Structure 1
Amino acid sequence: MKRILLLPLFVLLFSCGGTTSSYEKVIADFVQTNSRGTKLDMHFKAEKLEEVRRVTVADSIKIITDNFNDERDKQMASLEKTVSLFTENLEKAKAANRPSLTMINSYQSSIDKTNEQIAALRKSVPEELAKYENRDAGDILTIVVRCTYSVDEPITNKRAMETFDFFLSPDGTKCYSQKRVKEIIFNSTINTKGFPS
């Protein structure tokens, strides 16, 4: 009975290890290839490697939509301020001792045009969403793998350790890009006993 239960566990462990090692090879190739496409031997060694997340179509749609809405809200707020300024100027022009019909018409025209821009913005949707129209929301677009690795720097010939998030293809065989992971440094004051407070 114990053999039957342990067999699936071994299969799972070896399959995960296989994925991690294939990620390591893809990342090593990416890191050791320069901008001209020449492969270098920098003695790449993965110190720590973990799959952070899988970005799906649904995730991408949410990111695009959220960014679009944030930008649209900023533009609309700016346009609404413009309408407010034109409205103040229109009221002042109407209340002047000698109202100028030209100025009144100019301010009103500017208010109307700006309101049209606001209305168009309210109806707008991100153009980038069109590419996801016929795709399943659960389709994986990118696998994000965090890797801490050491390499020999080509110029200084010194050993360096870095941590990056690597964005891989859905099958994990290509690396699209990388993004440095910023280290968090905690500031702490030392109390009189010498321990962080």
Structure 2
Amino acid sequence: MDMKRIFLLPLFALLFSCGGTTSKYEKLIADVVQTERGVKIDLNFKADKLEEISQISVADSIKIITDSFNAERNRQTASLEKTLSVFTKSIEKAKTASRLSRTMINSYQSSIDKTNEQIDALEKSVPGELTKYENRDTSEILAIVVRCTYTIDDPLTNKRATETFDFYLSPDGTKFYSKKRVKE
């Protein structure tokens, strides 16, 4: 008899703790979904499916920032290289023109030099946002992602609508950061 109690007590504790986390997410998500410009609207929110799908760590955040930064830097570098190509062609054309114009050649050369300086500066640049992660444990969890499929009363059509969003929440599930619609 005592063995059953010893076994069942932790099992009940586990079940109640898991249920509490889900309902905590559900309450926060319901509040977010049913609040429009600071005004709470009763949309008869019902969570159909709610699951924590991932956690975002310091390492994940660094990768996201770095990847985004590198993509933007590559886009800007490609644009500057096109500009450089135009100036280079223009200077070559000016050098072979029947009437040589030193002013035009100097202007193109100045533009080439400035563009090269911009490219060099871009290549040496690093994301400034990374400084906030210095001396932090890379495994530290910054956010959790909770996927929620829910139904609400759509105020425009007066029908029930089902939507699925990923909600980005604080690690303890008490703060809302952002949401992103899941395309099905």
TM-score, normalization: structure 1? 0.82
Equivalence map 1:86-97=2 (5 Å)? 86-97=87-98
- Displacement of 1:179 in angstroms is 1.7
Query: Are 2:25 and 1:27 aligned?
Result: no
Paired residue for 1:144?
Answer: 145
- Displacement of 1:131 in angstroms is 2.2
RCO (CA 8 Å, sep 6+): is it higher in 1 or 2? Answer: 2
Q: 1:155 to 1:115 in 2, by over 3 A?
A: closer
Q: Deviations over 1:149-188 (max 9, x none)?
A: 11223454432221111111121012222222112xxxxx
Greater helix proportion = 2
Equivalence map 1:36-185=2 (5 Å)? 37-183=38-184
- Displacement of 1:95 in angstroms is 2.2
Q: Matched residue pairs, number? A: 182
- Displacement of 1:51 in angstroms is 0.6
Q: 1:49 to 1:94 in 2, by over 3 A?
A: same
- RMSD of the TM alignment (CA)? 2.2
Q: Percent identity between the aligned chains?
A: 74
Greater strand proportion = 2
- Displacement of 1:8 in angstroms is 5.2
- Displacement of 1:59 in angstroms is 1.0
Structure 1 gaps of 5+ residues are 184-197
Task: Report the residue type matching 1:98 in the other structure.
Answer: R
Q: 1:34 to 1:85 in 2, by over 3 A?
A: closer
Distance across 1 between alignment mates of 2:90 and 2:41: 66
Distance across 2 between alignment mates of 1:7 and 1:153: 43
Distance across 2 between alignment mates of 1:78 and 1:21: 50
- Displacement of 1:129 in angstroms is 1.7
- Displacement of 1:4 in angstroms is 6.4
Task: Report the residue type matching 2:141 in the other structure.
Answer: I
TM-score, normalization: structure 2? 0.87
- Displacement of 1:96 in angstroms is 2.6
Q: 1:155 to 1:114 in 2, by over 3 A?
A: closer
Task: Report the residue type matching 1:57 in the other structure.
Answer: V
Distance across 2 between alignment mates of 1:182 and 1:26: 22
Q: Which moved more, 1:114-123 or 1:87-96?
A: 87-96
Distance across 2 between alignment mates of 1:129 and 1:54: 19
- Give secondary structure in 2 for the equivalent of 1:82: helix
